[in-house]
Chains A and B, each alone.
Chain A
């Protein structure tokens, strides 16, 4: 049973990758017929927005007999298009595609809308201080601050539908899904804050991070490409903090969380930029001396070049 299932899973995964590659490459409507070994043939639509209701002439051949033993439980698995991304001096952001498949999918076609998939990519937690200005004698001055000991440096959510339609707040909260439930921890100096104050500070962090496009949400970002295959595109701005990223995929049906899957993604600094950053933080004194030497060298070179021109 186990090995059969694994094989089955592998077939789906390989089809998934095949379909996806083709879709990405062609970028147009290509109806694909997967290998004939697959029980019901899957008509793949070119990732339309999930809410569009096309006729979908799917050969709806549910294998389920009316009063049979319970169906195998659905589970989800996924992967990212690039697992390791190098950030160099000319890094201007990158796009990532997350794709996955629902095992034992019971939906007839991509448009059935039986499942909801939510994908959350979160960056390494960082420490930060949030400050608030207020008017003191006519000047806008930072007057209060709150320290966060852990805030995801990047947080992107993509889902098949708006989150409030996917599941209840309690379910979303327990999994940390959504801007209202981004896992953040306050420094203990903030323990006297009231609930509305905490909300105000949290909202400010989310708002400012959203403004930098480090926090993003796409309510219709996940699209099913077949009865079990789905995909979603994410975008990371150039200011993203390097480190380990976690991609979590949640599978819901009727507001119930059926399965989750986690995969990793690494963003690394490379090239000159990597060198400069590591040098500055690991050997600050020599970095300072090095910067001065560059400045002296550049200044002397310039005066040599221009004086020679004058002479």
Chain B
């Protein structure tokens, strides 16, 4: 059954998008990741204009993170003070990101920019994860137990001014690092259609030393609101949010995530990370390939709206 997507201006099978939502939802449920970084490239491969893919994916991330954020809130796992600072930065970053998308689209370089950002980001993250998971699998096989990281050590983050007390996280640190992190993640959300959890979570754990139990809740809190703001900004500034497409992806995504979570419980952590790293690297390679190989058609057309 074909459906016409009003903003993407394309006609495609209804079940293709629900299926894509379900597959990525399955993976994100299995690995416990957002999935935006897989869905946006997948939408681009399907022929959805990259700006529409990015804008619409922001809406989908709202749906997939809001339930998680609520669950964390019920368990009191959100540091609202930290979250608000991350969120303030996130909205600033998102405003800049949406303007950047607008400017890049005008000069016809947004596609290139998105693909290069994805190749870089997925390449780096995929490689790091691959190395880490291979090491973890080897260690598990040889039976050596490695001492976990020491906590409570002070680094450069703790020498910055504007110190604030974060009761829930039991931290007394400068507001500058969380604010900067928020700006960066908000910018990524706007230009790449991702939540940014894969950067925010490690940065909060290793850089800010936020206790692990509040990291996930606080980042979900930030992601929910930043992607909501990004959706509204994209809709206002670029008209690139396709509500119909978003709804299809959401329906597929929520169902897929439930089954993914069940499947994830049967696999070991390091095996999961190895698998995910493999998928991430494949997507990066596929994107890089599209830039390097000779395109059959050198010309492309972009509509400019009504005269």
Contact = CB atoms under 8 A, between A and B. Distances in A.
Interface string A71-110: 0000000000000000111111100000000000000000
Interface residues of B, number: 58
B243 A287 contact: yes
A280 B63 contact: no
A90 B3 contact: yes
A292 interface: yes
A217 B55 CA distance: 36
A285 B68 CA distance: 26
Contact of A87 (B2, B4, B111, B237): B4
B70 A276 contact: no
A280 B7 contact: yes
Contact of B307 (A150, A209, A302): A150
Contacts of B298: 132-134, 140
Nearest to B243: A291
Contacts of A303: 66-68, 70-71
Contacts of B10: 239
Contacts of A33: none
A18 to B, nearest CB: 35
A238 interface: yes
Given A239-B11, A292-B62, A294-B247, A90 B235 contact: no
Interface stretch (A34-42, A161-169, A200-208): A200-208
Contacts of A93: 11
B57 to A, nearest CB: 11
B40 interface: no
Contacts of B111: 142
Interface residues of A, number: 61
B180 to A, nearest CB: 26
Contact of B235 (A125, A285, A299): A285
Interface string A278-303: 00110011011111101110111011
Given A284-B236, A295-B250, A298-B250, A90 B297 contact: no
B77 interface: no
Nearest to B109: A142
Interface stretch (B81-89, B131-139, B269-277, B288-296): B288-296
Contacts of B2: 90, 92, 238
Interface of B: 1-4, 6-7, 9-11, 59-60, 62-68, 70-71, 108-109, 111-112, 228, 231-237, 239, 241, 243-244, 246-247, 250-251, 254, 258, 291-295, 297-307
Interface of A: 87-93, 125-135, 138-142, 145, 147, 149-150, 201, 204-205, 207-209, 211, 237-239, 269, 272-273, 276-277, 280-281, 284-285, 287-292, 294-296, 298-300, 302-303, 306
